[in-house]
Amino acid sequence: MNFDLTPDQAALRERARRFASEELAPVAEEYDQREEFPHEQFCRAAQLGFFGLSVPREYGGLGADTVSYALVIEELSRAMPAFGVPVSVHNSLVCYPIAKLGTPEQRQRYLPRLATGELLGGFSLTEPESGSDASAMQTLARKVDGGWIIDGHKTFVSMGATAGIFLVMAVTDPDAKRSRSISAFLIERGVPGFSSGQRVSKMGMRATDTTELLFREVYVPDANLLGNRGDGFKVALSSLDSGRIGIGAQALGIAQAALDTSAAYALSRKQFGEPIIKFQAVQFKLSDMATEIEAARLLLMEAAALKDAGQPMTTQAAMAKLMASQAAVRAADSAVQIHGGYGYLKGNTAERLYRDAKVTEIYEGTSEIQRIVIAESLIAEPATYPLPAFDVSAPVSG
Ligand code: CAA
């Protein structure tokens, strides 16, 4: 499906596809098993501009649109899902908010280094007792002369051990309404009082590190406040709208890989004297995978195109992430089933995809949160539908 890509979008997708198939796919299994991030491939991806997708050209980035960003994340994730996470978080949850909301000085200080990958960006919202209920955070920023003192404990931070700068949400105004009580700070690794916790061992996405972040009396100058005081929750949620397109694209890449590996196996694997692709039991699985992938891709492209047109896309981003992550989990499950016993073995791509897929239904807002976001849009603006609402005050007859 080409969704009328522009020549630039098609060229960027081709660049990502070639890099992913030649340089990521061959090492995906190895780095998953070693639980290690492929640093050499990171440097190559940086040279190709993938860490500057959301950075405007004047700051050394590609200034790519959201459609291109989604296409790149899908291609990278198709070869190595774990590689899609840092590229997505860095671009959508760090570069994009700085480019959109940063002061000229903040943009100049951070964007050129983010664009080249010299500085990897991380995002820090979640806390041990504040996950889906994100505004219930307890990390506190206390105002002092010229800046802020931050104390708190964040968790589930993707690339927490590796990223060099974090967009961190902290409560600056505990007495204000919850959504107005939070501000967003840019905090570089190395400032006194800041540390990453131990890397946690995960079911999937094992090539990325995930850690806690600890803030003990960390001094942050006023110049590192991103956006206005009290706007932090909205900064986080609006960045997550774009981030959800990235995670949707990551899930789509996983689903596509599950279909590709299953179709190839079903063509070559013979049982009862026939390649198993001849059996309807297998065909139906492949057909469902292909159909869900197509539907997810259309939703993703719609959300990305809306963002590029400057239109609201919160609902479409939530729908795209919900659909794509469900498609990924179902496709990976089918891939293991089609591979039979072989699919259950370590070292089989289907097994890794099965483990990698699950988290796309969890991070950057669980599927339940996406449904809440979608439902809120239905409540706020009920569909214009030609049928009148059922009148409960009318006498019941018949
Ligand atoms: N953009 C901008 N503002 C938004 C918004 C959006 N998409 N959605 C809501 N808002 C605004 C609302 O208009 C409201 O503003 P006012 O107070 O001025 O009216 C304010 O934000 C609060 O909105 P809600 O009352 O709806 O907020 P809530 O507390 O009920 O929470 C929620 C809403 C949807 C549940 C939200 O908390 C949420 O999305 N939770 C999930 C958190 C999440 O996605 N975490 C992911 C962690 S990051 C991660 O996973 C990265 C990684 O490592 C891969």
Is residue 207 located within the same domain as residue 299?
no
- Asked if residue 356 belongs to a domain, the reply is yes
Total number of domains constituting the chain: 3
Cα(26) to centroid(ligand 1), Å: 38
Report CA-CA distances (Å) from 226 to 174, 219, 222, 336: 18, 15, 9, 45
Query: pLDDT digits over 340-393, tens only?
Result: 999 999 999 999 999 999 999 999 999 999 999 999 999 887 666 667 777 888
Q: Structural domain of residue 246, as residue ranges?
A: 233-380
370 CA from centroid of ligand 1 (Å): 10
**Residue 328 shares a structural domain with residue 240:** yes
pLDDT of residue 2 exceeding 70: no
pLDDT tens per residue across span 220-276: 999 999 999 999 999 999 999 999 999 999 999 999 999 999 999 999 999 999 999
Query: Ligand 1, closest atom to CA 240?
Result: 44
DSSP string, 254-267: HHHHHHHHHHHHHH
> Which CATH number belongs to the domain containing residue 136 in this structure?
2.40.110.10
Question: Within 6 Å (CB) of ligand 1, which residues are found?
Answer: 85, 89, 123, 125-126, 132, 134-135, 158, 179, 233-234, 237-238, 240-241, 314, 363-365, 369, 372-373
* Minimum CA distance residue for ligand 1 atom 19: 179
Quick one: which atom of ligand 1 is closest to the CA of 177?
17
Question: What predicted TM-score, i.e. pTM, was given to this entire model?
Answer: 0.96
CATH number at residue 293: 1.20.140.10
Distance CA(147)–CA(91), nearest Å, equals 27
CA of 234 to the centre of ligand 1 (A): 7
pLDDT in tens, 85-118: 999 999 999 999 999 999 999 999 999 999 999 9
Q: Closest residue (by CA) to atom 44 of ligand 1?
A: 365
Give the residue numbers annotated as catalytic, written as ranges. 364
**Host H or E run for residue 183:** strand 182-188
Q: Ligand 1 atom 29: the closest Cα is on which residue?
A: 135
349-358 and 314-339 helices cross at what angle (nearest 10)?
Answer: 150
